[in-house]
Amino acid sequence: MVPYHGRFALRVARVVLALACLAWYPFTGERISSALVFLMAYAIFAVGTLFEIRFDASPRALIALVIDFVFFAVCRWLIPAVWAPSPWPWRFRFTSGI
C-alpha cells in the first residue's frame, strides 16, 4: 500500500496530465471532436479524484486504474504512429531487468 502522501501525489499527477493534455489540444489544429470530449471527461474525473474522500477503497481504486488504462489506450490510438516511441527499447529494458 502506498502511503497517503504518495497516493495524493499520484492523484495530483493525474490532474496535471489531464490538464496538460487539454492545454495542448488547441495546438494540434483539431476542431471540437470526440477526442476533446474524452479529454474533458478525463480532466473532470481527475479533478474529482482530488476531492473524493474514500477514493482509496479497493473498488474505487480499481475503477480509477481501469479509467487510467482506457485513457492511455485511447491516447495511444489517437497519436499517429510516427509520434509513438518504438516498443523495442522498452522490451530491451524489461528483459534486461530480469
Query: Which pLDDT value is given to residue 44?
Result: 92
Q: Which domain holds residue 87?
A: 4-96
Query: Which pLDDT value is given to residue 55?
Result: 65
Half-sphere exposure of 16 (CA within 13 A, CB side): 6
The count of domains in the chain is: 1
CA distance 34 to 4: 35
Interval 68-78: pLDDT, tens? 888 888 877 77
Query: Which pLDDT value is given to residue 8?
Result: 81
Residue 79: closest CA among 38, 35, 43, 40:
35
Query: Which pLDDT value is given to residue 1?
Result: 56
Q: What's the whole-model pTM score?
A: 0.67
